[in-house]
């Protein structure tokens, strides 16, 4: 399964992150499929740059964002819907 998540880059005590599409089993700073954006928490306010078209492409192909990545996508204005099961749908006979 593919995940949209953060990959840490930058010097010690000066983190910056890349928003990447990676296999769920890959390590945090390991192999990834594609870079779709950048996030710098040290600027005031934080800088979020995400390529909207790439993000929507991967979301439509089934990539699931992690919690922080979902918040960054929301901040960047990428609109998507996570499929959440409605209450009562499971176990209906």
Query: Which domains does the chain possess?
Result: 2-76 (3.30.1320.10)
pLDDT, position 28: 84
The 16-23 sheet, strands edge to edge: 47-50, 34-40, 16-23, 2-9, 64-65
Q: What is the mean pLDDT of residues 46-69?
A: 93
**If we measure between CA atoms, which residue out of 59, 55, 64, 56 comes closest to residue 1?**
64
Report DSSP letters for 74-90, one per residue: HHHT-------PPTT-T
Tell me the whole-structure pTM to 2 decimals: 0.79
Q: Determine the Cα–Cα distance for residues 24 and 1; give it in Å rounded to an integer.
A: 6
- Residue 8 CA to chain centroid, in angstroms? 13
pLDDT-based confidence at residue 21 (cuts at 50, 70, 90): very high
């Amino acid at each position: 399964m593919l995940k949209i998540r953060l990959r840490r880059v930058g010097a010690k005590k000066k983190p910056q992150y890349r928003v990447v599409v990676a296999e769920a089993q890959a390590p945090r700073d390991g192999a990834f499929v594609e870079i779709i954006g950048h996030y710098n928490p040290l600027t005031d306010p934080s800088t979020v740059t995400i390529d909207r078209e790439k993000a929507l492409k991967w979301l439509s192909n089934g990539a699931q964002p992690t919690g922080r990545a979902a918040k960054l996508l929301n901040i960047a204005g990428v609109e998507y819907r996570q499929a959440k099961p409605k209450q009562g749908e499971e176990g209906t006979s």
